[in-house]
């Protein structure tokens, strides 16, 4: 079997001195002279007003892209978000022989009939969690796969024991060697699998492998997130036989072959929720369009509780924040509970509310790392274990802050939009993993935000905003 070599077209490659980077995607070179990364410069104080179009769901897209490798026929995927994580996964797929044709920014045609390698060992792919979806997809189709142990946002321990348990239950051998997860099976046989924790990733991975196993599989205590349902719908559109996705028992009858399909990815629940909270925090009036309001129920419910008006229509939700924000208590839970991916955004809002709020993080143990940054902007938050106790402050003030991960990064941008004065957010590469054109969409709602590359650009921004 061929071993994958790092492809120079894929990502930034630093030379030994670390002074020159080659952008493999664009083929351009850039010299890092002192200013190593892009930042967001924000002048707070403007209420966000207007309409914003929500893109395809990143976490559904990642699963669906991987699943598209399970057929030799061509698959057309629409409403694909153009974000860093999907680009990285596509590059990994291309590196094993999958042909991906971009029809336009949000549409790709995928043909996986010429896969020449089942090993995905790439420095960049390690950085995205969803790289491990290629395990379930390739194991299902080829009975073998080797993928670098995944990374992803640094929000907690993130074990993969439930994925391994599921693959083993289907008859696969799984071992971890030299940083790779290696899984292979003579034959994959359907089985009854009870997941010990509700895991989106394990549900998705096991569902993909079981879709092409022999016989019936039942996944109990399955995750019910919208992207789990979207993947099941996509696999079914390719000829799989999956029932019960969206409930905690998923029943799968394995099929020998999957065929081509045309599929549109659902809207991103978390991107929508982030803009809804941006409206709340900036005392704005924002309509998020191209959404499925049902997926936003737990988010809308909390916004109503803290005093916002929320109007739903068929495929849009309008949030108006005319009154001061009130306090509330929140516990993150698997869907349909309040999403962990919205926890930093609601904390930013509660940090400006009247009264004391308690936010309990029950999914990831290390997801309050951004609180130090928010404190530097004037928030009164005490973290004890997995609980944040928030005493609402009157205002935030602009500061230089660092995005510790994707969702916390987006939440800090929102804090900056509400703060007095200028904020500079570092490490926006995390935000770009999951938000397409974040600053451009915010600008269209009246936000004063720019992406800056150099100290000079930052000074120019400061002069512009006064
Ligand atoms: C998915 O991560 C999402 N990522 C995350 O989105 C999201 O925060 C998370 O689900 C929860 O909704 C993708 O879809 C690519 P889990 P995943 O397996 O699948 C424990 C974002 O910002 N667990 O549902 O990794 C785990 O430690 C991101 O877009 C095990 O114990 O999450 C956690 O406590 C970040 N063993 C809980 O389950 C396992 O084998 C839920 O994790 C697997 C998970």
| Centroid of chain to Cα 372 | 23
Confidence (pLDDT) at 347: 98
pLDDT, tens only, 80-116: 999 999 999 999 999 999 999 999 999 999 999 999 9
* Residues 80, 234: Cα–Cα separation, whole Å: 13
Centroid of ligand 1 to alpha carbon of 140 (angstroms): 21
Q: Compute and round to an integer the Cα radius of gyration of the chain.
A: 22
Ligand 1 atom having least distance to the Cα of 340: 8
Average the pLDDT over each of 115-119, 121-125, 290-294, 302-306 and give the range with the smallest value. 121-125
Ligand 1 centroid–CA 277 distance in Å is 22
Per-residue burial over 329-363, b if 16 or more Cβ lie within 10 Å, else e, is ebebebbeebbbbbbbbbbbbbbbbeeebebebeb
Minimal-distance CA residue to ligand 1 atom 42: 199
Ligand 1 mean position to 386 CA, how many Å? 16
Confidence of residue 130 (pLDDT cuts 50, 70, 90): confident
pLDDT at 157: 63
Q: How far is the CA of 68 from the centre of ligand 1 (A)?
A: 21
CA pair distance 327, 302, nearest whole angstrom: 10
8 Å CB contact between 341 and 405: no
Angle between helices 297-305 and 269-281 (to 10 degrees): 10
User: Based on the number of CB atoms within 10 Å of its own CB, is 157 exposed (0-12), middle (13-18) or buried (19 or more)?
Assistant: exposed
Average pLDDT over residues 329-349: 98
Residue nearest atom 26 in ligand 1 by C-alpha distance: 158
**If residue 135 lies in a helix (H) or strand (E), which one and from where to where?**
helix 133-142
Q: Which of 166, 181, 200 to mutate to test the pocket of ligand 1 (most atoms within 8 A of CB)?
A: 200
Between the CA of 81 and the centroid of ligand 1 the distance, in Å, is: 20
**With contact defined as beta carbons under 8 Å apart, do 259 and 73 qualify?**
yes
For the cut 70, the answer to whether the pLDDT of residue 230 exceeds it is yes
**Arithmetic mean of pLDDT, 265-275:** 98
Side-chain-side CA neighbours of 101 within 13 Å: the count stands at 6
Share in percent of the chain as helix, strand, coil (round to 5): 35, 30, 40
pLDDT > 90? residue 294:
yes
Whether the predicted pLDDT of 17 surpasses 70: no
Q: What is d(CA 246, CA 225) in angstroms, rounded to the nearest whole number? A: 7
Per residue, what are the HEC states of 171-198? CCEEEEECCEEEEECCCCECCEEECCCC
> Do the Cβ atoms of 271 and 54 come closer than 8 Å?
yes
- 153 band by pLDDT with thresholds 50, 70 and 90: low
φ and ψ at residue 322, rounded to 5 degrees:
-95, -20
Minimum CA distance residue for ligand 1 atom 8? 341
Give the confidence band of 156 by pLDDT, cuts at 50, 70, 90.
low
Q: Give the model's pLDDT for residue 178.
A: 86
Measured from the Cβ of residue 390, the count of other Cβ atoms closer than 10 Å reads 29
| Among 165, 201, 224, residue to substitute to test ligand 1 (most atoms within 8 Å of Cβ) | 201
pLDDT for 81 = 98
Tell whether the model's pLDDT for residue 310 goes beyond 80: yes
* Average pLDDT value for the chain: 91
Q: What's the pTM value of the predicted model, to 2 decimals? A: 0.92
Query: Could you identify the atom of ligand 1 that is nearest to the CA of residue 201?
Result: 19
Q: What tokens appear for 60 in the block?
A: 């559904």
Q: Please compute the mean of the pLDDT values over residues 189-210 and round it to a whole number.
A: 98
Which pLDDT score is estimated for 7? 34
**Would you call 153 a catalytic residue per the annotation?**
yes
- Phi and psi at 263, nearest 5°, equal -145, 140
Ligand 1: which of 150, 197, 205, 266 to mutate, judged by most atoms within 8 Å of the beta carbon? 197
The catalytic position among 5, 23, 153, 308 is 153
CA distance 115 to 66: 13
Q: Which residue has the higher pLDDT, 150 or 115?
A: 115
Nearest ligand 1 atom to the CA of 161 is: 40
Query: According to the model, what pLDDT value does residue 338 have?
Result: 98
pLDDT, residue 158, reads 76
Q: How far is the centre of ligand 1, averaged over its atoms, from the C-alpha of 225 (Å)?
A: 11
Q: How far apart are CA 235 and CA 257, in angstroms?
A: 11
pLDDT in tens, 363-407: 998 899 999 999 999 999 999 999 999 999 999 999 999 999 999
Residues in the chain: 466
Residue 223 CA to ligand 1 center (angstroms) comes to 10
**pLDDT score of 151 more than 70:** no
> Mutate which of 363, 366, 432 to test ligand 1's pocket (most atoms within 8 Å of Cβ)?
363
Residues within 6 Å of ligand 1 by CB: 59, 62, 129-130, 153, 156-163, 197, 199-202, 223, 340-341, 363-364, 406-407, 434
Question: Which residue's alpha carbon is at the smallest distance from atom 14 of ligand 1?
Answer: 59
240-260 pLDDT tens trace: 999 999 999 999 999 999 999
Q: How confident is the model at residue 124 (pLDDT cuts 50, 70, 90)?
A: low
């Amino acid at each position: 079997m061929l071993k994958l070599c790092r492809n120079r077209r894929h990502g930034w490659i630093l030379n030994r001195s670390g002074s020159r980077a080659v952008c493999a995607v664009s083929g351009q070179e850039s010299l890092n002279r002192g200013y190593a990364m892009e930042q967001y410069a924000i002048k707070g104080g403007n209420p966000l007003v207007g309409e914003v179009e929500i893109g395809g769901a990143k976490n559904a897209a990642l699963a669906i892209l991987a699943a598209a490798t399970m057929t030799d026929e061509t698959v057309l995927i629409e409403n694909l978000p153009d974000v860093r994580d999907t680009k990285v996964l596509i590059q990994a797929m291309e590196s094993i022989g999958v042909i991906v044709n971009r029809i336009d920014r949000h549409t790709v045609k995928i043909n996986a009939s010429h896969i020449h390698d089942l090993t995905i060992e790439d420095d960049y792919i390690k950085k995205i969690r969803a790289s491990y979806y290629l395990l379930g997809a390739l194991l299902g189709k080829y009975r073998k796969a080797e993928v670098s142990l995944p990374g992803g946002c640094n929000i907690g321990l993130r074990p993969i024991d439930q994925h391994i348990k599921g693959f083993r239950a289907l008859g696969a051998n799984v071992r971890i060697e030299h940083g790779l997860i290696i899984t292979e099976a003579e034959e994959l046989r359907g089985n009854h699998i009870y997941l010990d924790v509700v895991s989106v990733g394990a549900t998705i991975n096991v569902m993909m492998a079981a879709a092409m196993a022999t016989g019936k599989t039942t996944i109990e205590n399955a995750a019910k997130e919208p992207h789990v349902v979207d993947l099941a719908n996509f696999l079914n559109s390719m000829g799989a036989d999956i029932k019960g996705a969206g409930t905690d028992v998923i029943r799968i009858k394995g099929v020998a072959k999957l065929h081509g399909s045309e599929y549109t990815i659902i809207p991103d629940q978390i991107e929508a929720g982030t803009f809804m909270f941006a409206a709340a925090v900036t005392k704005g009036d924002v309509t998020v369009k191209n959404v499925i309001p049902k997926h936003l129920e737990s988010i809308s419910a909390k916004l109503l509780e803290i005093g916002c008006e929320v109007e739903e229509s068929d495929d849009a939700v309008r949030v108006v924040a005319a009154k001061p924000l009130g306090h509330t208590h929140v516990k993150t839970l698997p869907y349909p509970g309040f999403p962990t991916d919205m926890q930093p955004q609601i904390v930013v809002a509660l940090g400006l509310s009247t009264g004391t709020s308690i936010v309990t993080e029950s999914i990831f143990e290390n997801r309050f790392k951004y609180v130090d940054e928010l404190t530097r902007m004037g928030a009164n938050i005490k973290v004890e274990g997995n609980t944040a106790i928030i005493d609402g402050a009157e205002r935030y003030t602009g500061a230089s802050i660092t995005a510790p991960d994707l969702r916390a990064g987006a939440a800090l941008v929102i804090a900056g939009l509400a703060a007095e004065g200028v904020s500079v957010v570092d490490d926006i590469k995390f935000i770009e993993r999951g938000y397409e054109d974040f600053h451009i969409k915010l600008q269209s709602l009246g936000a004063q935000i720019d992406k800056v590359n150099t100290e000079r650009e930052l000074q120019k921004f400061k002069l512009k905003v006064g």
